[in-house]
Homo-oligomer: A and B are copies of this chain.
């Protein structure tokens, strides 16, 4: 029973995160918040010191972040925090366009009850976005809409890909908030996607979702480029 009690001390059902997990999350957060500016070169030793572990968990966390494209491990030299160019942002948006477009089409192909239920949830987020008082809240509802779109497609690989590109884009998002693009144009576009889903028309849904993200991309990329942001 002592065993059971001990197990219970650490939040039942919640697996205790390993040191690698914690180092990964902390390192990634630091990168996204630009506490480590892009282009900086770090050593495993100093990161180990900063995060309170030994070098091994840091190394393994760095490997994961390298897979995601946030850092590059230079053999025998150190860990380089990657810089994203506007071209990178363009590529990332292209991935988003491809995946979300297909996700919307997939949802539109679902049996009517299911797709209507999803449409309702999407509509709720859109309404929340429309009603939001400030940019922050609007942005949050917008993100919820897009996350839901991908999750509801039922393809776990879509979600996984989006998670990767989102973490890459996260740093750029920080800048975006300051630039405050006219997010209200998104509302009718979201509604167009929802309408296509309700109608059960995958082709229209595909085109609508692609057009929406394409429009956002064409607004964002020049904006970032114009501000002379060579990297993030």
- Are A157 and B91 CB-contacts (below 8 A) given A18-B75, A97-B102? yes
Contact A158 B75 (CB under 8 A): no
Contact A95 B157 (CB under 8 A): yes
Chain B residues near A161 (CB, 8 Å)?
A: 95, 161
Contact B92 A157 (CB under 8 A): yes
**8 Å CB interface, A56-107 against B:** 60, 63-64, 67, 75, 91-92, 94-95, 97-99, 101-102, 106
Tallying the copies of this chain within the complex gives 2
Interface status of A148 (Cβ within 8 A of chain B): no
- Nearest neighbor of A16 in chain B, beta-carbon distance: B75
Contact A94 B106 (CB under 8 A): yes
Per-residue CB proximity of A41-65 to B under 8 Å, as 1/0? Answer: 0000000000000000000100110
A102 partner, pick from B94, B203, B207, beta carbons under 8 A: B94
Interface status of A29 (Cβ within 8 A of chain B): no
Contact A98 B91 (CB under 8 A): no
Chain B residues near A207 (CB, 8 Å)?
A: 203
The residues of A with any CB-CB pair to B shorter than 8 Å are: 15, 18, 60, 63-64, 67, 75, 91-92, 94-95, 97-99, 101-102, 106, 155-158, 161, 165, 203, 207
| Interface CB pairs A-B, < 8 A, 20 | A15-B75, A63-B63, A63-B64, A64-B67, A91-B155, A91-B156, A91-B158, A94-B155, A94-B157, A95-B99, A95-B155, A95-B157, A95-B158, A97-B102, A98-B98, A98-B99, A98-B101, A98-B158, A101-B102, A157-B165
